[in-house]
Structure 1
């Protein structure tokens, strides 16, 4: 039996029940728990419709933030605004960012909105709560001088082909790691990327393996329209997440010469990949692992700039966008080069520390103000 602290709270709950009976034709006798409902939401609404990596992100948020904050055994009918606000408190209490708490709130709200559509709830309790404010990203991006310094360093680096491709194309980590030789010519065809996908158990009885990847009946859960082809183990070639990501960009100097030299000197591999490597005691060929590339990047960055810089590999995309703006490339072409679906997304990648272009703009403004029009004498009061 549910108890209320005040008569007004009891009356409000009674009104909700009456509305629920009116709209839904009845009142559920038992509400699912937070754990039960979010598991069902993942199974029905997320896994069959979202890309595997996206579904993994949802699952992480649910397991690590949302369910612990709301309480796994709490009935979702008992969720109120105060309990919803616990999500932000819980996330920030772990020392995580405001953006993480905002994401967790929106994922929880989506799951509860699904409960409304399913007739399990009358009202989404998260709709009564203001979402957490997103934090302001504090990105460290390369300036023009930084990029030139890195470019010079890479010209004599053993892996210069890999790193220069990141710097000069603004392509994503998996797009470069997954480049196949037959997609490199006068242009770079970025219509595929390499990703590590997580398997799930496919056994009906416990197979004895803790890791789903070792299960004899392992399977990949993905939407019907998701394209993936296995390379090795959990590494798969997949399509970029949006049609805008399926792009072809011209291959120009100095990257063209660097890649041609790389292809002439590289050893063939069974996957036809441009950046397959040799690792291990016996130097066997392995496909490029995006996670390994992310580990190697800080080593290169610190080698060039010393400790203290925070430029992540993905942030190199921001730097390349800055350089394209600086070079005077039109915004619609920048959008096409980096594979953004909207111009607003491209602008969001542009750094706010573009001192060179800002200085040039102010010089142009000053020139307009200080040079009189033909036949007129410039007069400045004071």
Structure 2
């Protein structure tokens, strides 16, 4: 009966000894025993060692590049264009030295080396992205039977703790609203502040999405610039499809844009880079701490929660997948005064 690939073979030699052989990572390993049982035990020891190193007996000549390629191809149907682009860029930029390495020879030390220099340079976020990228690809390799288990499990993930976002207070917001009113991008910034929409959602807005008579904006798509081209797709989450009521001031600002700037199918025909640069310059001119477009989204959520709006309502406006996500991101903004009132009554 023919043995399955990766099981190895055991035969009796002419000198009476038993010989056990198995191919691991393209290299044949051979052991001997005075009895068949002894040879079989030594063969099993080789298999166990291979398993502990995250390598199976017959990875079919696959390389680390093959592993990344397989992982990307397996996820294309569910990834958004931006995710696919970011994955391809990450693999090309950070794993060039590992691409041709036989998968059978991929060691935890190789994974450690792939991000160590970024940890030493203080680039902990990049280091964590590198670790998560190769770990996810290794999981696919395990699923396909190319690895017995994920070698990343033996590597301590780099630590990265995002800095807490500092948001403007109401006085700073008022300075911005009063001082930036004459800027061409003010309607965009005002819309971001009053809707909490993501930058991609704002850049995808078309004139048909503005319900001026209802003072509401329909958000049902997201635009991203990938490889020099605009790509319009679905919002980040299913909850991203929403109708967001806005103050009349937002509608008036958008109407001003339509009346005073060159015609465009998009309400805000700018690039993310241009928006960010102009926003930084305006903050500097007004003497305000710098803020990003995502910071304006964060400001919207923080202001609503600090004023006691129900978290479910805020979550719906932001297009979060669930209120639990909103709670996690904006816990610092939740009002604590009711808790204080309860404790004061207890102590009376």
Q: Could you tell me the TM-score, scaled by structure 2's length?
A: 0.76
Report if aligned partners of 2:71, 2:137 keep a CA contact under 8 Å in 1: yes
- Alpha-carbon distance in structure 1 between the residues aligned to 2:101 and 2:28: 13
What stretches of structure 1 of length at least 5 have no aligned partner? 4-9, 199-232, 277-287, 373-382
Quote how far apart the aligned CAs of 1:29 are: 6.6
Moved more, 256-265 or 293-302: 256-265
Does the residue aligned with 1:196 lie in a helix, a strand or coil? strand
1:275 to 265, 268, 274: 268
Report if aligned partners of 2:115, 2:131 keep a CA contact under 8 Å in 1: yes
Answering whether residue 199 of structure 2 is matched by residue 173 of structure 1, we say yes
Quote how far apart the aligned CAs of 1:302 are: 1.4
| Two-structure CA RMSD over aligned residues (Å) | 3.1
Written as runs of structure 1 = structure 2, the 5 A alignment for 1:324-335 is: 324-335=304-315
Does the residue aligned with 2:217 lie in a helix, a strand or coil? strand
Quote how far apart the aligned CAs of 1:243 are: 1.0
- Alpha-carbon distance in structure 1 between the residues aligned to 2:177 and 2:45: 66
CA change 1:300–1:18 in 2 (3 A) is: closer
CA change 1:260–1:317 in 2 (3 A) is: same
The aligned counterpart of 2:64 is: 34
CA change 1:118–1:47 in 2 (3 A) is: same
Quote how far apart the aligned CAs of 1:65 are: 2.6
Report if aligned partners of 1:154, 1:163 keep a CA contact under 8 Å in 2: no
How many residues are treated as equivalent by the alignment? Answer: 305
Answering whether residue 337 of structure 2 is matched by residue 311 of structure 1, we say no
The aligned counterpart of 1:110 is: 136
Report if aligned partners of 2:239, 2:316 keep a CA contact under 8 Å in 1: yes
The aligned counterpart of 1:243 is: 238
Answering whether residue 333 of structure 2 is matched by residue 350 of structure 1, we say no
Written as runs of structure 1 = structure 2, the 5 A alignment for 1:51-66 is: 51-66=80-95
Quote how far apart the aligned CAs of 1:155 are: 3.1
- Alpha-carbon distance in structure 2 between the residues aligned to 1:299 and 1:49: 38
Does the residue aligned with 1:254 lie in a helix, a strand or coil? helix
Written as runs of structure 1 = structure 2, the 5 A alignment for 1:223-262 is: 234-262=229-257
Larger radius of gyration: 2
Report if aligned partners of 1:139, 1:311 keep a CA contact under 8 Å in 2: no
- Alpha-carbon distance in structure 2 between the residues aligned to 1:361 and 1:154: 36
Report if aligned partners of 1:176, 1:193 keep a CA contact under 8 Å in 2: yes
Quote how far apart the aligned CAs of 1:318 are: 1.2
- Alpha-carbon distance in structure 2 between the residues aligned to 1:54 and 1:158: 31
Quote how far apart the aligned CAs of 1:164 are: 0.6
1:86 to 106, 113, 118: 113
Q: Could you tell me the TM-score, scaled by structure 1's length?
A: 0.70
Report if aligned partners of 2:284, 2:290 keep a CA contact under 8 Å in 1: no
- Alpha-carbon distance in structure 2 between the residues aligned to 1:18 and 1:368: 62
Does the residue aligned with 1:305 lie in a helix, a strand or coil? coil
